[in-house]
Amino acid sequence: FDFDLTAPFVPEFSTRDQMEHRHKVFPVQLIAANSNNPQAFRLNENALNAVLGHREIANKKIVIISVAGAFRKGKSFLLNFFLEYLYALQNAQQNDIKLEWLGDDTQLQGFHWRSGAKRDTVGIWLWGEPIMIEAANGEKYAVVLMDTQGTFDNSSTLKQCTTIFGLSTLLSSLQCYNVVDNIPEDALQHLTLFVEYGRLALKEAQDFGKPFQQLTFVVRDFKSPEEFPYSDGGSKFLEQVLQVTPDQPEELRVVREQLKECFDTLSCFLLPHPGYKVAEQGSFKGYVKDIRPLFREEAKRMTTALLNPQVLQPKLVNGKEITCKKMIDYIREFSRVFEN
């Protein structure tokens, strides 16, 4: 693999340069699904190269944060909170200033969110560059954001999504599964399907211990804060959803046990409705001041809880933390397994 790229990766900037630089970066599509043939996937080598193929980061540990789920459920919107936080953190660390983010004047952007009409394609996107964060142990990690979308319209797209989600679960150190209102039984069932695919891929590639790291359910437009408060009700809510009882049908029990066996950590965050300006078609331009304050507060709390330097976990493969350089090999290897 050729690390000698012409465009150098220079994450060390002054605050102003960082702001300017950031707006030149876009998401790139790493894996594309073919809508005519649910079996066929294409790995975009150029995208892989553009994000991870820089000599300066070759030996840095990689952290991959994925957000997965169906279309039009606010994934990209949420990813822009992650972007905002990580860039603010990178800037604060590099220029030794106080971490401040999500002020009233902030315009959330980066991952495109769309209201209405045009259907996006199924696939996996990466933010165009890693964001360099100094972890609590003093090491600099390359943090990569991943956007995964699918649709469950019919059996062929279900197969396609299963594969795409399986792959993103396999590649990420943190998988956020975005759902609306609740964690429905079919979401759990889809998950075990993804997980099954992931396990198959692992069997063919290499033999690991617990195959996956962290799974976090993000429940949007959650409507029962009296019973499960937004601020800290998530784990209690998840506990209830994943409860295994003797009178449960076998099928439901197996799904729950499998999830617990496959992931090192399971967690859950509950988010309120973001307000009519965000949810209403077309009018919202990403300004933080137009977001319902309660949503802003909870999204901020969740982002900080998931991405702060104390908790960032590099991607583990075979129980070992891996580097950007190694990740390139793994992405190639895993996507080959999923190509047929």
Residues in contact with ligand GDP by CB under 6 A are: 71-77, 113-115, 220-221, 271, 273-274, 278-279, 284
Q: How far is the CB of 125 from Mg ion (least distance, A)?
A: 8
What are the residue ranges of helices labelled H in the chain? 15-22, 45-52, 75-95, 155-171, 185-205, 234-241, 250-262, 276-279, 293-307, 324-338
C-alpha to C-alpha distance for 90 and 100, rounded to whole angstroms: 11
Q: How far is the CB of 271 from ligand GDP (least distance, A)?
A: 6
* Residue 198 binds which entry of ligand GDP, Mg ion, none, CB below 5-8 Å type-dependent: none
| CB-CB neighbours of 50 under 10 Å | 19
| CB-CB neighbours of 308 under 10 Å | 15
Which of 44, 66, 76, 214 is in the footprint of Mg ion by CB under 5 A?
Answer: 76
Scan for tokens 């859950």, then name that residue.
268
Tell me: does residue 168 bind Mg ion (CB under 5 A).
no
Tell me: does residue 313 bind Mg ion (CB under 5 A).
no
| CB-CB neighbours of 24 under 10 Å | 8
* Residue 296 binds which entry of Mg ion, ligand GDP, none, CB below 5-8 Å type-dependent: none
* Residue 27 binds which entry of Mg ion, ligand GDP, none, CB below 5-8 Å type-dependent: none
Q: Provide Rg for the chain, Cα atoms.
A: 19
Q: Which residue is nearest to ligand GDP (CB)?
A: 74
Q: How far is the CB of 180 from Mg ion (least distance, A)?
A: 14
* Residue 74 binds which entry of Mg ion, ligand GDP, none, CB below 5-8 Å type-dependent: ligand GDP
* Closest CB to Mg ion among residues 71, 287: 71
Scan for tokens 């709390």, then name that residue.
301
Q: How far is the CB of 225 from Mg ion (least distance, A)?
A: 26
C-alpha to C-alpha distance for 9 and 55, rounded to whole angstroms: 8
Q: Which residue is nearest to Mg ion (CB)?
A: 76
* Residue 172 binds which entry of Mg ion, ligand GDP, none, CB below 5-8 Å type-dependent: none
Q: How far is the CB of 113 from Mg ion (least distance, A)?
A: 6
* Residue 114 binds which entry of ligand GDP, Mg ion, none, CB below 5-8 Å type-dependent: ligand GDP
* Closest CB to Mg ion among residues 67, 171: 67
C-alpha to C-alpha distance for 145 and 81, rounded to whole angstroms: 11
C-alpha to C-alpha distance for 77 and 331, rounded to whole angstroms: 26
Q: How far is the CB of 4 from ligand GDP (least distance, A)?
A: 35
The beta-carbon contacts of 128-131 under 8 Å, at least 24 apart in sequence, are: 128/25, 128/26, 128/27, 128/28, 128/50, 128/51, 129/9, 129/11, 129/25, 129/51, 130/11, 130/51, 130/52, 130/57, 130/60, 130/62, 130/324, 131/11, 131/83, 131/86, 131/87, 131/89, 131/90
Residue 120 is classified by DSSP as: P
Q: How far is the CB of 10 from ligand GDP (least distance, A)?
A: 30
* Closest CB to ligand GDP among residues 11, 74: 74
* Residue 73 binds which entry of ligand GDP, Mg ion, none, CB below 5-8 Å type-dependent: ligand GDP
Q: How far is the CB of 261 from Mg ion (least distance, A)?
A: 30
The footprint of Mg ion (CB under 5 A) covers 75-76
